[in-house]
Structure 1
């Protein structure tokens, strides 16, 4: 059960990819399904966003804002009873403050988050000093001894075929289970330490 200082608080998780139309909305939907199956949905705030879809100054404007998820990703996910309902949006300075976990799908996403944070800080926006401790790769939560041993990034399926979308779903199924396990273990450790 997510908590802070002994008081019950929702654990906030933000998934980040490039355009917020394939990987991160899928991670959002898969994680929502995982926590719903665990009957813990009321203990989480779950969202997704992107780093501009390739636009170099995306922290000012983003290509995909308001777009639904990629139709191919929607089709692949729906076969697994995973429903993508979010609309694309870019990362914001407020996200760096408001989310406990900020999970990038690949190293480029992580680097883009840091570039944006530096830009926002230079423009006088509030950027938490510890935001980097929240930013991690999604694949950190894969089963280290499982089928995906050694994989560090969720690959972008946008320019590939159906197999790419299926691989994304496989990776996210595994990593989302691992993420929930991690959050539960963290909370048990916090209670034990208090």
Structure 2
């Protein structure tokens, strides 16, 4: 019997310091809790160059600590990921436009969509909490939990 290749998902937002690292950490915890982390390759990235090599926003780190979700990430830009990931899930419309444009130039094999596209509460966009407060990061966290659970169920 052939070994099963891991599934792969890349979470993307504008800076890779707020929303996408939260989604990455949430999804990683979900697959770890279900004992299927060996079946997944998980990462996150940015569409811009603003925050490359910076750690996640401290408010997002505090939020994840509060929910006991481990995280170890430094911001990185989307590059060769179009050909190496099965799914690229972004947080909003501007990232979706960027990814679709870049994906068409780069031999894209990934399915590109907005993370909240199948979200039952119909909150398609995960708003950037960067200029907000702790409660905005909690809102992003809760959205990511719902959306990541739905994505995991759909992709199994």
* TM-score normalised by structure 2 residue count: 0.93
1:33 to 29, 36, 40: 29
Whether the aligned pair in 2 keeps the contact of 1:26 and 1:169 (CA below 8 Å) is: yes
Question: Counterpart in 1 of 2:54?
Answer: 67
- Show the 5 A alignment for 1:15-164: 15-52=11-48, 62-92=49-79, 94-117=80-103, 121=105, 127-128=106-107, 131=110, 134-142=111-119, 144=120, 149-164=121-136
1:116 and 1:90 map into 2 onto residues whose CA distance is 12
Deviations 1:38-95 (A, max 9, x none): 000111000000011xxxxxxxxx1211100000110011100112211000000x10
Listed as ranges, the gaps of 5+ residues in structure 1 are 1-5, 53-61, 122-126, 185-194
Whether the aligned pair in 1 keeps the contact of 2:85 and 2:109 (CA below 8 Å) is: no
The residue matched to 1:69 in structure 2 has which SS?
coil
State the Cα RMSD in Å. 1.5
Q: Which has the higher contact order (CA 8 A, sep 6+)?
A: 2
Listed as ranges, the gaps of 5+ residues in structure 2 are none
2:100 and 2:89 map into 1 onto residues whose CA distance is 13
Greater gyration radius: 1
The residue matched to 1:75 in structure 2 has which SS?
helix
